Structure 1
Amino acid sequence: MAGPTTAERGERQQESSGPPLRRRRALRLRTIIILAVALALSAGGGLWVLYGSQWARVERVSVTGTRELTEGQVTEAAGVPVGEPLISVDTDAIEARLSRELPRIDTVDVVRSWPHGISLKVTERTAVLLVESDGKFVEVDDEGVRFATVSKAPKAVPLLELTLSRSGSAAASLRRFDEGRLMREAVRVAGSVPAAVARDTQVVKVRSYDDISLELSGERTVAWGSAEKGSAKARTLTALMKAEPDARHFDVSVPTAPASSAS
């Protein structure tokens, strides 16, 4: 008599091992369900901690990096939503408000300090020139941004004078380079002047794009020319002042052909 076929042997083997196999499958399914429930509870608990509990809500705002501004001014302008969930605070919106409300701020980093704080790390603009207006002084930074008006001129910050001619070649220059551009050129000059000279600079005078000069203490003057070749002009001026310490007028508008005079 022929033996059982392959299919019959498979059916008998499955029948003999059926109950244990079904139990293993049920166990695996139960384990998967338990893990899924645990993960769901864990995620839900985490969301509740971040959004629903009192554990991670804004309770304090700290400010660092201020010089002229007060911590109170920065905190008020920031408008941090105290009492709200820390995770939901819109840090970009806070940065935008501070830049809009306090132009003296150059940059600010808004950082979440878990579990209860917001940290405002401020960098203020630094004045490199002053523009006198109605008896007050407008501070201008190294990017040419007018960022604050003060009643008293800060020390060691030169005054900017725009004495622009409206005739001849100067008028043509003014049509090409407006006052905003000329102010930025003056800022470039102020940034190129040697440190020792910068401390003595009282006025940066702009007549045109190519005619920028410095008025120093002791009735000394420097004809700088345009803002171009600032590094070369700075080196030349340093050497010229060392070689001619008694001179009162220096001309480095062409740095390869400098000049000085006592009167």
Structure 2
Amino acid sequence: MAGPTAAERGDLQQESSGPPRSRRFGRPRPRTIVILSLAVLLLNAGALWMLYGSQWTHVKRVSVSGTRVLTPQEVRAVARVRLGSPLISVDTDAVAARLRGELSRIESVDVERSWPDEIELKVVERTPVMVEEKGGKFVEVDRHGVRFATVSQAPKGVPVLELSLSRSSSAAASLRRFDEKRLVREAVTVAARIPAAVARETRAVKVRTYDDISLELNDGRTVAWGSSEHSPLKARALTALMKAAPEARHFDVRVPTAPASSGS
């Protein structure tokens, strides 16, 4: 007996597969739409209440880390984060800007929310690499050449910056091109490149012009450094020169490929 034809098989498959997809997945009923909308509204309202209304997410603590000279109390006073306010409402950018603007000792600060109830202030203080003596006190200068604080005593192991700017015609032309701020940055760059053993003995970094920077050591020895250009080469040349001529009093590394020493 012959089986069903291809057309008959197709009819059977269509019947067994049920109604078309468009019939099974029609538009949601109005009641379903209303229930879903209410659920979304309730979730949003709950989230807003949790962020703004619940005491669980209000600021209870302001922690400070990274301070060395500043105290946590000083930092909190300037941050002015109000305890009891919603954590989500704290303007962290404004707090950071206020700290950097009012506390010059701060180089950078991260203000972070720590859920559910804490603001964290992570401070990086400026480190003096040189000081300038003014009126019996000392102005600290950081690695960027920024003068950021005045102290009554110079930090131990930090050299004094002496700006003895030359008044010659050539020096005046140099000063017009490289102003005092630029010269301070040049001195900072040199100070950062001094070999560690020499840096511990450096009493002063003297600046006359852009390319006339010198060092004075605690025992009176001097180093003619020149400009900050090729400072790594100059540092290596100075180390080698001091080993080769330990009794010398004057060292010249302005041309690092031809260093020189004199005096004894």
The corresponding residue for 2:206 is: 205
The corresponding residue for 1:66 is: 67
- In the alignment, structure 1 segments of 5+ residues that lack a partner are 1-16
Query: In the aligned structure 2, how far is the partner of 1:168 from the partner of 1:50?
Result: 67
- In the alignment, structure 2 segments of 5+ residues that lack a partner are 1-18
Percent pairwise identity: 67
The reply on whether 1:113 has 2:114 as its aligned counterpart is yes
Using the TM superposition, give the Cα deviation of residue 96 of structure 1 relative to its aligned residue in structure 2, in angstroms.
0.4
The reply on whether 1:152 has 2:153 as its aligned counterpart is yes
The corresponding residue for 1:85 is: 86
Q: Quote the RMSD (CA, aligned, Å).
A: 1.7
Q: 1:259 to 1:45 in 2, by over 3 A?
A: same
The reply on whether 1:37 has 2:58 as its aligned counterpart is no
The corresponding residue for 1:256 is: 257
User: Conserved in 2, the CA contact under 8 Å of 1:166 and 1:174?
Assistant: no
Equivalent residue of 2:216, what SS?
strand
Equivalent residue of 1:73, what SS?
helix
The reply on whether 1:196 has 2:197 as its aligned counterpart is yes
State TM-score, norm by structure 1.
0.88
Equivalent residue of 2:198, what SS?
helix
State TM-score, norm by structure 2.
0.88
User: Conserved in 2, the CA contact under 8 Å of 1:225 and 1:253?
Assistant: yes
Equivalent residue of 2:238, what SS?
helix
Per-residue CA deviations over 1:157-179 (Å, capped at 9, x if unaligned) read 00000111212322222222221
Query: In the aligned structure 2, how far is the partner of 1:256 from the partner of 1:41?
Result: 77
Per-residue CA deviations over 1:114-145 (Å, capped at 9, x if unaligned) read 11110000000010110111111000001000
Q: How many residues align?
A: 242
The corresponding residue for 1:4 is: none
Using the TM superposition, give the Cα deviation of residue 26 of structure 1 relative to its aligned residue in structure 2, in angstroms.
9.2
Equivalent residue of 1:55, what SS?
helix
User: Conserved in 2, the CA contact under 8 Å of 1:62 and 1:117?
Assistant: yes
Using the TM superposition, give the Cα deviation of residue 82 of structure 1 relative to its aligned residue in structure 2, in angstroms.
1.6
User: Conserved in 2, the CA contact under 8 Å of 1:221 and 1:250?
Assistant: yes
Equivalent residue runs for 1:131-146 within 5 Å: 131-146=132-147
Using the TM superposition, give the Cα deviation of residue 60 of structure 1 relative to its aligned residue in structure 2, in angstroms.
0.9
